[in-house]
Protein backbone atom coordinates (compact mmCIF):
# COMPACT_ATOMS: atom_id res chain seq x y z
CA UNK A 1 0.00 0.00 0.00
CA UNK A 2 1.42 3.36 -1.00
CA UNK A 3 2.01 6.18 1.45
CA UNK A 4 -0.56 8.36 -0.34
CA UNK A 5 -3.24 5.67 0.11
CA UNK A 6 -2.40 5.29 3.81
CA UNK A 7 -2.66 9.07 4.28
CA UNK A 8 -5.98 9.18 2.44
CA UNK A 9 -7.43 6.39 4.60
CA UNK A 10 -6.23 8.14 7.77
CA UNK A 11 -7.90 11.39 6.71
CA UNK A 12 -11.18 9.57 5.98
CA UNK A 13 -11.02 7.89 9.39
CA UNK A 14 -10.52 11.20 11.18
CA UNK A 15 -13.38 12.76 9.22
CA UNK A 16 -15.71 9.91 10.25
CA UNK A 17 -14.76 10.39 13.91
CA UNK A 18 -15.38 14.15 13.66
CA UNK A 19 -18.84 13.64 12.16
CA UNK A 20 -19.75 11.09 14.85
CA UNK A 21 -18.70 13.45 17.64
CA UNK A 22 -20.65 16.32 16.08
CA UNK A 23 -23.80 14.21 15.91
CA UNK A 24 -23.48 13.00 19.50
CA UNK A 25 -22.91 16.48 20.94
CA UNK A 26 -25.92 17.89 19.10
CA UNK A 27 -28.49 15.51 20.49
CA UNK A 28 -31.32 16.96 22.53
CA UNK A 29 -33.75 14.28 23.65
CA UNK A 30 -34.11 10.59 24.28
CA UNK A 31 -36.91 8.57 22.72
CA UNK A 32 -38.68 5.44 23.83
CA UNK A 33 -39.74 3.65 20.65
CA UNK A 34 -43.30 2.36 20.46
CA UNK A 35 -43.80 -1.38 20.29
CA UNK A 36 -46.35 -2.74 17.83
CA UNK A 37 -47.76 -4.97 20.55
CA UNK A 38 -49.63 -3.85 23.65
CA UNK A 39 -49.14 -0.58 25.50
CA UNK A 40 -47.25 -2.43 28.22
CA UNK A 41 -43.64 -2.60 27.05
CA UNK A 42 -40.29 -3.83 28.38
CA UNK A 43 -37.89 -1.29 29.84
CA UNK A 44 -35.78 0.64 27.38
CA UNK A 45 -32.38 -0.62 26.28
CA UNK A 46 -29.59 1.74 25.32
CA UNK A 47 -28.70 1.53 21.64
CA UNK A 48 -26.42 4.52 21.75
CA UNK A 49 -26.61 7.73 19.76
CA UNK A 50 -28.61 6.21 16.95
CA UNK A 51 -30.06 9.33 15.32
CA UNK A 52 -33.71 10.05 14.63
CA UNK A 53 -35.48 6.75 14.06
CA UNK A 54 -38.56 4.99 15.31
CA UNK A 55 -37.94 1.29 15.90
CA UNK A 56 -41.66 0.53 15.90
CA UNK A 57 -41.13 -2.90 14.38
CA UNK A 58 -39.18 -4.10 17.40
CA UNK A 59 -40.73 -5.89 20.36
CA UNK A 60 -38.14 -4.27 22.62
CA UNK A 61 -38.19 -0.56 23.36
CA UNK A 62 -35.08 1.40 22.53
CA UNK A 63 -33.47 4.67 23.58
CA UNK A 64 -33.34 6.84 20.48
CA UNK A 65 -32.00 10.34 20.03
CA UNK A 66 -33.24 13.48 18.28
CA UNK A 67 -31.39 16.71 17.44
CA UNK A 68 -31.33 19.40 20.11
CA UNK A 69 -34.47 21.50 20.27
CA UNK A 70 -36.62 19.34 18.02
CA UNK A 71 -40.27 19.66 18.85
CA UNK A 72 -43.52 18.00 17.98
CA UNK A 73 -45.73 21.00 18.61
CA UNK A 74 -43.78 24.20 19.03
CA UNK A 75 -45.76 27.29 18.24
CA UNK A 76 -44.96 30.91 17.64
CA UNK A 77 -45.65 32.73 20.87
CA UNK A 78 -45.46 36.49 20.82
CA UNK A 79 -48.28 38.92 21.45
CA UNK A 80 -50.90 36.40 20.32
CA UNK A 81 -52.44 33.87 22.65
CA UNK A 82 -50.82 30.44 22.39
CA UNK A 83 -53.12 27.92 20.68
CA UNK A 84 -55.16 25.37 22.58
CA UNK A 85 -53.58 22.05 21.61
CA UNK A 86 -55.77 19.57 23.52
CA UNK A 87 -57.11 18.88 27.02
CA UNK A 88 -54.43 17.56 29.29
CA UNK A 89 -54.69 13.91 30.37
CA UNK A 90 -54.63 13.02 34.03
CA UNK A 91 -51.71 11.43 35.81
CA UNK A 92 -52.36 7.71 36.11
CA UNK A 93 -50.29 4.98 37.69
CA UNK A 94 -48.55 7.43 40.02
CA UNK A 95 -47.17 5.52 42.99
CA UNK A 96 -46.07 8.43 45.12
CA UNK A 97 -45.13 12.11 45.30
CA UNK A 98 -42.00 13.83 46.56
CA UNK A 99 -41.81 17.34 48.05
CA UNK A 100 -45.42 17.92 47.07
CA UNK A 101 -48.64 19.14 48.69
CA UNK A 102 -50.58 17.68 45.75
CA UNK A 103 -52.01 14.24 45.11
CA UNK A 104 -53.44 14.88 41.65
CA UNK A 105 -53.32 17.41 38.82
CA UNK A 106 -56.91 18.17 39.74
CA UNK A 107 -55.48 20.00 42.76
CA UNK A 108 -54.03 22.51 40.28
CA UNK A 109 -57.28 23.39 38.52
CA UNK A 110 -57.41 27.12 37.84
CA UNK A 111 -53.62 27.50 37.86
CA UNK A 112 -50.95 27.75 35.19
CA UNK A 113 -48.45 24.93 35.50
CA UNK A 114 -45.74 23.08 33.66
CA UNK A 115 -45.62 19.29 33.39
CA UNK A 116 -42.18 17.93 32.55
CA UNK A 117 -41.53 14.25 31.89
CA UNK A 118 -37.96 13.48 32.91
CA UNK A 119 -35.65 10.88 34.36
CA UNK A 120 -32.64 11.72 36.48
CA UNK A 121 -30.07 9.89 34.37
CA UNK A 122 -31.02 11.75 31.19
CA UNK A 123 -28.34 14.27 30.18
CA UNK A 124 -30.82 16.37 28.18
CA UNK A 125 -33.21 16.47 31.15
CA UNK A 126 -30.37 17.90 33.23
CA UNK A 127 -29.78 20.63 30.68
CA UNK A 128 -33.43 21.74 30.83
CA UNK A 129 -33.45 22.08 34.63
CA UNK A 130 -31.71 25.47 34.95
CA UNK A 131 -34.24 27.02 32.57
CA UNK A 132 -37.19 25.55 34.46
CA UNK A 133 -35.67 26.73 37.72
CA UNK A 134 -35.32 30.27 36.36
CA UNK A 135 -39.00 30.26 35.35
CA UNK A 136 -40.00 28.92 38.76
CA UNK A 137 -37.98 31.56 40.57
CA UNK A 138 -39.48 34.32 38.40
CA UNK A 139 -43.15 33.30 38.21
CA UNK A 140 -43.92 31.09 41.21
CA UNK A 141 -45.09 34.11 43.19
CA UNK A 142 -47.52 34.87 40.32
CA UNK A 143 -49.05 31.41 40.53
CA UNK A 144 -46.85 29.20 38.33
CA UNK A 145 -46.33 25.62 39.46
CA UNK A 146 -44.14 22.89 37.99
CA UNK A 147 -44.81 19.17 38.24
CA UNK A 148 -41.86 16.96 37.38
CA UNK A 149 -43.15 13.53 36.38
CA UNK A 150 -40.24 11.16 36.95
CA UNK A 151 -40.58 8.28 34.48
CA UNK A 152 -37.48 6.08 34.74
CA UNK A 153 -35.79 4.91 31.58
CA UNK A 154 -33.71 2.24 33.34
CA UNK A 155 -34.22 0.10 36.43
CA UNK A 156 -31.61 1.94 38.50
CA UNK A 157 -33.64 5.15 38.08
CA UNK A 158 -36.62 3.59 39.88
CA UNK A 159 -34.98 3.82 43.31
CA UNK A 160 -36.73 6.53 45.33
CA UNK A 161 -33.64 7.39 47.39
CA UNK A 162 -31.68 7.90 44.18
CA UNK A 163 -34.44 10.14 42.81
CA UNK A 164 -34.37 12.23 45.98
CA UNK A 165 -30.58 12.54 45.83
CA UNK A 166 -30.74 13.52 42.16
CA UNK A 167 -33.42 16.13 42.91
CA UNK A 168 -31.10 17.73 45.45
CA UNK A 169 -28.08 17.52 43.16
CA UNK A 170 -30.00 18.92 40.16
CA UNK A 171 -31.77 21.53 42.34
CA UNK A 172 -35.25 20.33 41.49
CA UNK A 173 -37.28 22.22 44.10
CA UNK A 174 -40.77 21.63 42.67
CA UNK A 175 -43.17 18.69 43.24
CA UNK A 176 -42.23 15.33 41.73
CA UNK A 177 -44.73 12.63 40.75
CA UNK A 178 -43.33 9.10 40.65
CA UNK A 179 -44.38 7.41 37.41
CA UNK A 180 -42.37 4.25 38.07
CA UNK A 181 -43.98 2.07 35.41
CA UNK A 182 -44.20 4.94 32.89
CA UNK A 183 -48.01 4.71 32.78
CA UNK A 184 -48.50 8.48 32.52
CA UNK A 185 -45.43 8.84 30.31
CA UNK A 186 -47.12 6.58 27.76
CA UNK A 187 -50.62 7.99 28.24
CA UNK A 188 -49.49 11.55 27.52
CA UNK A 189 -47.29 10.49 24.58
CA UNK A 190 -49.32 7.96 22.66
CA UNK A 191 -47.23 7.68 19.51
CA UNK A 192 -43.60 8.58 20.12
CA UNK A 193 -42.25 9.07 23.62
CA UNK A 194 -39.38 11.26 24.73
CA UNK A 195 -37.34 12.47 27.69
CA UNK A 196 -37.56 15.34 28.37
CA UNK A 197 -40.94 16.58 27.21
CA UNK A 198 -42.38 19.81 28.51
CA UNK A 199 -46.02 20.94 28.53
CA UNK A 200 -47.70 24.13 29.75
CA UNK A 201 -51.24 23.71 31.10
CA UNK A 202 -53.61 26.66 31.34
CA UNK A 203 -56.23 27.54 33.93
CA UNK A 204 -58.84 25.45 32.08
CA UNK A 205 -56.71 22.34 32.00
CA UNK A 206 -55.75 22.66 28.32
CA UNK A 207 -52.26 22.10 26.91
CA UNK A 208 -50.94 25.36 25.42
CA UNK A 209 -47.29 24.40 24.83
CA UNK A 210 -45.66 21.07 23.93
CA UNK A 211 -41.91 20.74 23.38
CA UNK A 212 -39.53 17.81 23.05
CA UNK A 213 -35.93 17.97 24.19
CA UNK A 214 -33.85 21.02 24.96
CA UNK A 215 -34.48 24.53 23.64
CA UNK A 216 -37.66 26.48 23.04
CA UNK A 217 -37.12 28.41 26.25
CA UNK A 218 -38.24 31.80 24.93
CA UNK A 219 -41.53 30.32 23.71
CA UNK A 220 -41.94 28.48 26.99
CA UNK A 221 -41.57 31.66 29.03
CA UNK A 222 -43.77 33.65 26.65
CA UNK A 223 -46.53 31.05 27.01
CA UNK A 224 -46.32 31.07 30.80
CA UNK A 225 -46.23 34.86 30.97
CA UNK A 226 -49.19 35.28 28.60
CA UNK A 227 -51.37 32.85 30.54
CA UNK A 228 -50.50 34.38 33.90
CA UNK A 229 -51.22 37.90 32.66
CA UNK A 230 -54.23 37.26 30.43
CA UNK A 231 -55.77 34.00 31.62
CA UNK A 232 -56.80 31.09 29.44
**pLDDT at position 74:** 47
Q: What is the pLDDT of residue 79?
A: 59
Whether residue 148 is predicted with pLDDT greater than 60 in this model: the reply is yes
User: Residue 75 pLDDT > 70, yes or no?
Assistant: no
* Dihedral over alpha carbons 206, 211, 212, 213 (to 10 degrees): -130
Question: Can you give the pLDDT at residue 9?
Answer: 59
Residue 35 has pLDDT above 50, yes or no: no
Under a CB-based contact definition with an 8 Å cutoff, are residues 131 and 220 in contact? yes
The answer to whether residue 67 scores a pLDDT higher than 90 is no
pLDDT for position 69? 46
* Average pLDDT of the residues in 20-33: 52
Q: What is the pLDDT of residue 41?
A: 31
Band the pLDDT of 80: cuts 50, 70, 90: confident
Mean pLDDT, range 180-196, rounded to an integer: 96
Q: Given this model, what pLDDT does residue 60 score?
A: 31
Going by their DSSP bridges, the two strands 45-46 and 62-67 should be labelled as parallel
One CATH from 3.40.50.620, 3.40.50.10420, 3.40.30.10, 3.40.50.360 for 86-230: 3.40.30.10
Q: What is the mean pLDDT of residues 198-218?
A: 98
Q: Provide the whole-model pTM.
A: 0.73
Does residue 152 have a pLDDT over 90?
yes
Q: 92 falls in which pLDDT band (50, 70, 90)? A: very high
Contacts by 217-222, CB closer than 8 A, 24 or more apart: 217/131, 218/77, 219/74, 219/75, 219/76, 219/77, 220/114, 220/131, 220/135, 221/135, 222/77, 222/78, 222/82
Mean pLDDT of the residues in the chain: 79
> Where exactly are the structural domains of the chain?
3-67, 86-230
Amino acid sequence: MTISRIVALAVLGLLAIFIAVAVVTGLGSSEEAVSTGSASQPETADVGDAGDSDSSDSSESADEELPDGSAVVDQEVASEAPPVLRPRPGLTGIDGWLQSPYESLDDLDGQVYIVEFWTFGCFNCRNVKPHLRALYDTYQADGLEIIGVHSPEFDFEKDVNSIQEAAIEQRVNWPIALDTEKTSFRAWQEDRRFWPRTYVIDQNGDIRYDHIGEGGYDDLEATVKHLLENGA
